[in-house]
Amino acid sequence: MRIAVKYSMVDVQVVITMAIQITPRPQLGLRTEIARLAFVAEFPSYFSKAFAIQTFRDASAIQYSPTASDIRPLMVHPDLVVLMMQYREGLAKPEGAPWKRSKHGEVGRWLDTQFSFYTFKPQA
């Protein structure tokens, strides 16, 4: 993707973005979801905020037990690692969820606020 951006290869950029978005989710594993999230965080202007939040939720599901190796692609985005920890903790212990302590009160609005620090592609 960096090469495509560097050389203004718009068609390649579009294809990469489409491939990231159309892969059927039930077939993906934890590492793939985390890698997808890292890619979205690296190139947020190619993805909508809704897609980024859904990707984050998929990568943060509590049925997974991620290892340090699994999370490695996100280490260049420590804010997402911390957010993932808070989100997973809130799912596991809803009474202490960070969205309940915030002014938002619900997880969707809380995540929307957390992801407002990125510049995503405008909704179509």
Tens of pLDDT along 81-124?
A: 999 999 999 999 999 899 988 776 799 999 999 999 889 988 76
Query: Does residue 18 carry a pLDDT above 90?
Result: no
- Mean pLDDT of the region 14-19: 76
Query: Does residue 8 carry a pLDDT above 80?
Result: no
Tens of pLDDT along 24-59?
A: 565 568 888 898 999 999 999 989 999 999 999 999
Predicted confidence at residue 78, as pLDDT, reads: 94
- Percent of the chain past pLDDT 70, that is, above it, reads 87
Q: pLDDT category, 7, cuts 50, 70, 90?
A: low
DSSP H helical segments within 1-124, as ranges? 2-6, 10-22, 30-42, 49-59, 68-71, 78-92, 98-101, 107-114
